Amino acid sequence: MRIAIIGDVHLGKAQKGLVERENDIYDLFLRICKRVIDEKAGIVCFLGDLFDSSHPPVKAISTALSAFENFARNGIKVILIAGNHDIPSIKTRMCPIELPKTNENMNNNIIELSCQNPVFKFNENNISVHICGVEYHPPEKRQSLIMAMENISSSILLNSSSEKILNILLLHQGLKEFSPAEEEISLAEIPNVFNFIFVGHLHLRMEKSHGRTKVILPGSIEIGSVSEVVKQMHNEAGIILINTETRMYEKVKISLCRKFIHKKFPSSAIDHELKNLTGELKESVVDGKLPWVYLEIEDDAKIGNSLINEKTARATEGNVLFVQKNIESEEMKEREKNTEISFKDVNLRDIIKGHFPGYNDEVYELYEKRKDMSGAKEVMNKIYAKFKDSYVRQKLPEM
């Protein structure tokens, strides 16, 4: 059997508020799902953040349902774990990845892995396969995450009678080895019982061997931020396909719906660079979709932001969907140098705890949801409910 692994999708995300970018993700997601069917996979696993919000738009939900119905018609099981964007701040609200299971046509075809149901087991040609996973755990719940993985490990070892075993772990977490942070877990804290660990959340495309375990980060299917353009420039999405018999894996590449162009140059060469860029833009239109451009410009000639913006606008007008610019100058560097603050020894949670006694967990959660408006509203409602419950009306003095 072939198992397909897909990273963060973020259905419903509209980069810079552009509906064109929201539609790019829908189109790419459907093409990826079709490719999974064409590759004759038996199972497809999503590594969390299927949706960009715990309250996704209707089109995001209908797009996911359409794809999953198609998987069901082709006999492909879908395995999901909840990412931080999927999980509602208010526990009583439904996580959107549970919506497909309410459809009778695909209910038996969708498996959600979580701390309550962390293992999906099947046998294929005398090979015992365990696909394991848990939902996203915020840093303050790292011990709960470690305990959950230890429970999975014990369950696998207890129920494994076959010598031919393939153990796969699906996570949506930060890992110290890829994103150093004091509160993140490390690979050393994950039980050494897995052949593969697939990790979402970080949007990075990386691999690492950890003993006998292959750790793979497929990355997000789309480019969603400047850092993703610069740090790992790519104009294709990726699917990982595992062969359960050979335990070998391959990467399948699918072109993005829209081209991304990144240029870095000094302002002294701006006329030459923009002339070349103009020619490149005309060749970068894909199916009528204009490219996205990111420019890093060092203002060595000191021509100023206004002239740089004017020249850039003239060179790209009508030929791009969006132009992002990062303009650096000696003046800016000096200003940043004089106002530099080191956060090396700052613990954000301690600061919040000191300023918001009684509400520190909620305020920290609000900080984490700062880029998710609907999620932030949920946290604010939670803070208000807690305030209302603890509020005691002050009595007016008797006259």
Q: What is the mean pLDDT of residues 326-332?
A: 80
Residue 227: its H or E element: helix 226-231
pLDDT at position 332 over 60: yes
Q: What is the mean pLDDT of residues 68-81?
A: 95
The pLDDT value recorded for residue 226 is 73
Percent of the chain with pLDDT over 70: 81
Separation in Å, CA 307 to CA 100, 271, 281, 297, 314? 52, 11, 21, 12, 11
The pLDDT value recorded for residue 184 is 84
pLDDT band at residue 156 using 50, 70 and 90 as cut-offs = confident
The pLDDT value recorded for residue 99 is 84
The pLDDT value recorded for residue 343 is 47
**Ordered strands of the 2-6 beta sheet:** 110-112, 77-80, 43-46, 2-6, 236-243, 249-255
Residue 173's nearest CA partner among 144, 153, 209, 130 is: 144
pLDDT band at residue 286 using 50, 70 and 90 as cut-offs = confident
Among 202-211, 333-342, 374-383, name the most confident range: 202-211
> In sequence order, what E strands does 33-95 have?
43-46, 77-80
Q: Which H, E and C letters describe 285-344, residue by residue?
A: CECCECCEEEEEEECCCCCCHHHHHHHHHHHHCCCCCEEEEEEECHHHHHHHHHCCCCCC
pLDDT in tens, 347-390: 655 666 666 666 666 676 676 666 566 666 776 777 777 666 66
Q: Give the other-Cβ count within 10 Å of 373's Cβ.
A: 11
The pLDDT value recorded for residue 46 is 98
> Is residue 347 classed exposed, middle or buried when 0-12, 13-18 and 19+ CB atoms within 10 A define those classes?
exposed
Beta carbons of 112 and 80 less than 8 angstroms apart: yes
Between CA 132 and CA 109 the distance in angstroms is: 17
Supply the mean pLDDT for the chain.
Answer: 86
pLDDT in tens, 248-277: 999 999 999 899 999 999 999 999 999 999
Beta carbons of 60 and 29 less than 8 angstroms apart: no
Q: What is the mean pLDDT of residues 218-240?
A: 80
The pLDDT value recorded for residue 149 is 95
pLDDT in tens, 24-61: 999 999 999 999 999 999 999 999 999 999 999 999 99
Bridging pattern class, strands 213-217 and 206-210: antiparallel
pLDDT band at residue 183 using 50, 70 and 90 as cut-offs = confident
Tokens 């992002």 -> residue: 324
pTM of the model: 0.81
Residues 6+ apart with CB under 8 A from 399: none
Q: What is the mean pLDDT of residues 307-335?
A: 87
Q: What is the mean pLDDT of residues 151-168?
A: 81
pLDDT band at residue 147 using 50, 70 and 90 as cut-offs = very high
Q: Among 8-17, 26-35, 82-91, 232-241, which is the least confidently predicted range?
A: 232-241
